[in-house]
Amino acid sequence: MSNKHCRTFGRILAAACAIALSFGMAACGSSSDNSKSADSSNDTQMAGVTATGTLGKKPKITFHTPMKVVNNSYAVLQKGNGPAIQKDNHVCVQGIALNAKDGSEMMSTWEKNTPDCSMVMNEDGAGKTYYNVLKDQKINSTIAFGVNDNNKASTSYIMALTLVSQSKPMTRAEGEKVTDIPADLPKVTLDEKGAPSIDFNGYKPGNDLVVQPLIKGKGKKVAETDTIDAHYTGWVMGADGKPSKFDSSWDRGKATNFSLQQVVKGWTKGLAGQTVGSQVLLVIPPDLGYGNEAKDKIPANSTLYFVVDILYDYGQMQTQQ
């Protein structure tokens, strides 16, 4: 499967990629030269695929086999009975991959109830092809997409996605303000949009990681293996003893998406166990930051100060809205 497909539907298509590789599908998801692709014509509809079953439950997908699949073709198999999908919302999908040659099920998220919540309903978050198909759907709709694999085995498959829930993206931390913050910690103030500034308040950092919730969100607890959306600002102590900002998603005007396995250890340890909607002050000692390595605006052996708003956890199953 192409990297583009795997990025589009995260865990579901990554699982399909793994299965495909086990079958020797070397060019999984690539279009053959003579295949009409929905990337260039997004009205390529797939005929002969049907779904039966209760809306919002695992559907039974049927089609005549072997089936010739046009890459990125689609068919709306079940029209949903839930709210209309809203632009820029996070959407969770359950998925089934079926071999087009014999109809066998290659993978499914339904049995373990592990929906993929990595899709954001816009062209950047879903990909233009998928967004154009999904944007007019409702919750509990099931849509089939064709993946035509250009490999020696000519193995193609049908990916049937059911839209099970959606949620509006947070733009800042939402929750209960924490009142029992130790008086000697750095002081954080927010502007009208929620962007933080910091006053070190005479704080003398030690060798331990400091994790202080400032706002307590009501969402899911974040695991150290999760991928999240967050707004953040980071500072080090400048030569004048005052905060020196080295990075801020607020300045870029857009929250950042990242895995807690791909950040400094202080972030992984500090944010694991916090809840979505929370704002957290992190004071990270050098050994859990960048150590003796200098990074652009960060001198070697720096203590790092961060204020992080946890806006979304891609491992969570969202409730319908």
pLDDT in tens, 82-97: 999 999 999 999 999 9
Tell me the residue ranges of DSSP E strands in 45-141: 50-52, 60-62, 74-78, 90-99, 105-108, 116-120
- Domain residue spans in the chain? 3-167, 175-313
More confident residue, 156 or 155: 156
CA angle 136, 172, 224 (to 5 degrees): 90
CATH of domain 3-167: 3.10.50.40
For residues 196-223, average pLDDT: 97
Neighbours of 65 (CB within 10 A): 12
* pLDDT over threshold 50, residue 26: no
Topology agreement, domain 3-167 and domain 175-313: yes
pLDDT of residue 41: 42
Name the residue type at position 134: L
Q: What is the mean pLDDT of the chain?
A: 86
* Domain range 175-313, CATH class: alpha beta
Reported as a single tens digit per residue, the pLDDT across 96-149 is 999 999 999 989 999 999 888 888 999 988 888 889 999 999 999 999 999 887
pLDDT at 29: 42
Q: Where are the alpha helices (DSSP H) in 176-276?
A: 249-252, 265-271
Q: Is the pTM of this model over 0.75?
A: yes
For residue 122, what is the DSSP state? S
Pairing of strands 210-217, 105-108: unpaired
Q: Which two tokens stand for residue 50?
A: 């049907």
pLDDT number for residue 32? 36
The token pair at 174 is 């939402």
The CA distances from residue 24 to 1, 12, 19, in Å, are 11, 19, 9
Q: Above 80 in pLDDT, residue 320?
A: no
Mean pLDDT, to the nearest integer, of 63-75?
A: 91
